[in-house]
Structure 1
Amino acid sequence: MSAVPTPPSRPVPTPPPRRLHPQPLPVVDETSAGGLVVDVVDGRAITAVIARRNRAGRLEWCLPKGHLEGDETAEEAAVREIAEETGIHGVVLRHLATIDYWFAGTDRRVHKVVHHYLLRATGGELTIENDPDQEAEDVAWVPLDEVASRLAYPNERRVVATARDVLIGRT
C-alpha cells in the first residue's frame, strides 16, 4: 500500500473581528399622504383600495398613499396619490389620522409619517394604469363596512373605523 499524499498545510484565515456595537444605520424621515376616497352607490358607501407587494413579496390590500412631491401639502399629495393609484378623483372632506412608524432597509432606518384623509369621489374610472411607480397591482371598490377585513395593516383598519364614525356623524 502506498501512502496517501497530504496536501500542504495552509493557514486558516482569521475572520474579521465582530463589533459588539455595529455602526448604526442612518435615519431617513419620509412623509406620505393618502386615505379613503368614498362614493355612494345604491345607498351604500364604497371605497377604493389597492393591492401591492410588501417587502416579502406578498400581495396586500391597503389604502392608496404616497410621498409628497416638491412643495405640495399633505392634502394635495393625498388627492394626487389616490387619483394616480386608483384612477378616482376626489375632494378632501377632512383629515382622519396620522400614522407614525419605523422600518429598516438594508442601508437605512426609515421614520415614516403618513397623513390619511377622507375624500368624496368626484369622478374618474377605477384603474391602476396611471400609477407612475407601478406599485399598485390591483384596485377595487369595496363596501366601507367590509374594507377593514380586507386591509393588511391594523393602523389602516383604525383609519377606516374613524372614517366610518365621521360618515355616520359620531365625530
Structure 2
Amino acid sequence: MKEISAGGVVYRRNEEGKLQIQLIQDRYGKVSLPKGKMEAGETIEQTALREIAEETGLEGVIIAPIDQIKYKYEHEALGSVDKEVHYYLVEAVGGSLQAQVEEIRGVDWFEPQDAWRRQKQSGYDNNHRIVAGAFQLLGLQTD
C-alpha cells in the first residue's frame, strides 16, 4: 500500500522585515514540520496547505517544492506501507499562529540560525535535508 503526505517549511518576514522560520513540536516532543495525509480529491499541494493551516492556523502560498522523503513502515491492519512525504517552501500570508493541540504540542517562529540549530539538535534526521533545502531556496546558510 502507498500513503502520500505533504507539508512544508513555512517562513515569513516579521514587522521588522526579518526572515523567520516556523517549527512545530510534535506530540513526541521532537522538532518537526507541519504535514499530514492526502485526502480524496486533493492535489499534493492542496494537502500541504490544508495540513499547515490545520496544524498551525496559518494560510500559506507555495513558493517552490523542496524535496520528498520516502520510507516504509508497518501498519497493524494494512501491513507494509510505502510512505511518501512531499515538502514545499511555503510563505505565510494569513491566519494566526495557533497549534492544533490534538496533533502537536506547539508551534513558533524562529530566527533562521536558531531554527537550524533546533532542527539539528532535536529534529528528525530525515528532515535535516528538507530544512536545508528550504534554506537554500531562501538564500540562507546552514552553518
> Normalising to structure 2: TM-score of the pair?
0.85
- The equivalences for 1:1-171 within 5 A come to 28-41=1-14, 42-53=16-27, 58-107=28-77, 108-129=79-100, 134-151=102-119, 152-168=123-139
Hey, which bits of structure 1, 4+ residues long, moved more than 6 A?
none
What are the superposed Cα offsets for residues 28-79 of structure 1, whole Å, 9 maximum, x if unpaired? 31100001111012232212222222xxxx3112000001111111111111
Query: Percent of counterpart pairs with the same letter?
Result: 38
Q: Secondary structure at the match of 1:89?
A: strand
What are the superposed Cα offsets for residues 119-164 of structure 1, whole Å, 9 maximum, x if unpaired? 11101111024x7xx2112111122222233232122121111111
Q: Secondary structure at the match of 1:59?
A: coil
Tell me which protein shows more strand as a share of its residues.
Answer: 2
Following the alignment from structure 1 to structure 2, what is the Cα–Cα distance between the partners of residues 102 and 142?
31
Following the alignment from structure 1 to structure 2, what is the Cα–Cα distance between the partners of residues 139 and 117?
18
Larger radius of gyration: 1
Report the number of matched residues: 136
Could you tell me which amino acid in structure 2 is paired with residue 38 of structure 1?
A: Y
Could you tell me which amino acid in structure 2 is paired with residue 128 of structure 1?
A: A
Tell me which protein shows more helix as a share of its residues.
Answer: 2
What are the superposed Cα offsets for residues 53-107 of structure 1, whole Å, 9 maximum, x if unpaired? 2xxxx31120000011111111111111101101111100010101111122444
Cα-Cα RMSD: 1.9
What are the superposed Cα offsets for residues 3-28 of structure 1, whole Å, 9 maximum, x if unpaired? xxxxxxxxxxxxxxxxxxxxxxxxx3
Where structure 2 has 5 or more consecutive residues not aligned to the other structure, the ranges are: none
Residues 1:113 and 1:123: Cα distance change in structure 2 (over 3 Å): same
Q: CA deviation at 1:169?
A: 8.2
> Normalising to structure 1: TM-score of the pair?
0.72
Contact 1:48 1:86 in 2 (8 A): no
Where structure 1 has 5 or more consecutive residues not aligned to the other structure, the ranges are: 1-27
Following the alignment from structure 1 to structure 2, what is the Cα–Cα distance between the partners of residues 163 and 96?
6
Contact 1:49 1:86 in 2 (8 A): no
Report which structure shows greater RCO (CA 8 Å, sep ≥6).
2
Following the alignment from structure 2 to structure 1, what is the Cα–Cα distance between the partners of residues 67 and 34?
14
